[in-house]
Structure 1
Amino acid sequence: MGQRRCTAEEAFGVLRSASGHRNVNSVTCPGELLTNLADRPPTEPEIRS
């Protein structure tokens, strides 16, 4: 959204389109995007009780 200066709905459309073009599911695509941006895979948040 920051790079394209678009709304959340538009950003979701971009992710949906990218996942379709790359033939990956819509859950995998954002993870790959974050990995490319951060140069490391996303991590699970630590649950604190």
Structure 2
Amino acid sequence: MEDVTQRMLTRTLRQLERDGLISRHDYREKRPRVEYAITPLGKGLLMHMLPL
């Protein structure tokens, strides 16, 4: 994604996690690795938004 700063991406992901729409898993490895996944709440919201 062009023109998206690291700061803005981080803020957006943190807000989505706080809202319960995504989950975050930090593997705490030597080379930092984090995975994000959509939660059931996030899937439900997405399914309601797709028709829009």
> Larger RCO: Structure 1 or Structure 2 (Cα < 8 Å, ≥ 6 residues apart)?
2
Pick the TM interval, shorter chain: 0.3 to 0.5
The structure where strand makes up a greater share of residues is 2
User: TM (normalized to structure 1)?
Assistant: 0.42
Structure with the higher helix share, 1 or 2? 1
Q: TM-score, normalised by structure 2?
A: 0.40
